[in-house]
Amino acid sequence: MLQQLSRAARIILVGAPGAGKGTQTERLIRRFPQLSSISSGDLLRSNVRSRTPLGIQAEAKMKTGALLPDTMMVRLIINELNLRGWLVPDTIMPYTVNFTAPGAESLLESVDDVFIPSPFRTSKYNYSESPSASFILDGFPRTAAQAKQIDEIVPINLVVNIKTPTDVILDRICNRWVHEPSGRVYNTTFNAPRVAGIDDITGEPLVQRADDSPEVWTARLKKFEETSAPLLEHYDKKSVLWTVNGNSSDEISPRLFDEFARRFAH
């Protein structure tokens, strides 16, 4: 079932690695086609490939896995929203709701042309409230500083905190087997290969990734808790934080769809 949005959704999914953020993003986009995903990692990789000045600067840091400077990341996201026509600098606003001369409304070709002046008067940008200017940010913001900066320009209006118990995530990861040449992933509890330890398609052996060990994942999950806490706190203060609990993606999706539709599709 496809659902239309009635207002712009600007959302972020926060969830531990292994909690199924990617799955929920894909499902949301399939059900609400006006949503699109903007991934900071993908944008960076595309800048690196095209050898832009930003890409050249970013490349070395990305190789080490270190985070890039907050202002650089905010600039990257603003630039992307700008390219998509969802965010325009204040000075070159051709059609705005409070800038339109009497009778000039007919110049607007679609609702996409209506830009709502930002309530933050310090902002130099205006963002679109059209449902087609809806997005899920993936990988951004990663820090409270990034969240604060982007909120002053284009406020995020829903942050979904996906909570899956740690032991459930660990259990899922430790049951994961991969066919390395193809990247096919199996799980012995819910997506088992036909023959244990053997790839369905090629008949070749499956392996467990060295970094899929409980020790590595416990450390990774702890790190996630530490870094996400200030972000969640920021959005809780803004009253846009919504938490969903569930042990699997299939348990979480219907709850997420209902809440999302309640907020953006009525």
Which spans of this chain sit near ligand AMP (rule: CB under 6 A)?
A: 40-41, 44, 61-62, 65-68, 73, 139-142, 146
The nearest distance, CB 258 to ligand AMP, in angstroms, is 28
The answer to whether 86 touches 112, Cβ cutoff 8 Å, is: no
191: β partners: 187
Is 140 annotated as contributing to ligand binding?
A: yes
Q: Return d(Cα 157, Cα 167) in angstroms, integer.
A: 31
- Name the residue with the smallest CB distance to ligand AMP: 41
The nearest distance, CB 3 to ligand AMP, in angstroms, is 28
Is 255 annotated as contributing to ligand binding?
A: no
Is 142 annotated as contributing to ligand binding?
A: yes
The nearest distance, CB 66 to ligand AMP, in angstroms, is 6
Is 249 annotated as contributing to ligand binding?
A: yes
Nearer to ligand AMP, 150 or 160 (CB): 150
Nearer to ligand AMP, 144 or 158 (CB): 144
Q: Return d(Cα 25, Cα 138) in angstroms, integer.
A: 9
Residue written as token pair 């036909």: 194
The nearest distance, CB 154 to ligand AMP, in angstroms, is 15
The nearest distance, CB 82 to ligand AMP, in angstroms, is 18
Nearer to ligand AMP, 62 or 168 (CB): 62
Is 139 annotated as contributing to ligand binding?
A: yes
Is 125 annotated as contributing to ligand binding?
A: no
Nearer to ligand AMP, 44 or 173 (CB): 44
Nearer to ligand AMP, 206 or 231 (CB): 231
Is 18 annotated as contributing to ligand binding?
A: yes
The nearest distance, CB 162 to ligand AMP, in angstroms, is 16
Binding site per annotation, positions? 18-23, 40, 45, 66-68, 139-142, 146, 176, 185-186, 209, 220, 249
Q: Which residues are annotated as a binding site for AMP?
A: 40, 45, 66-68, 139-142, 146, 209, 220
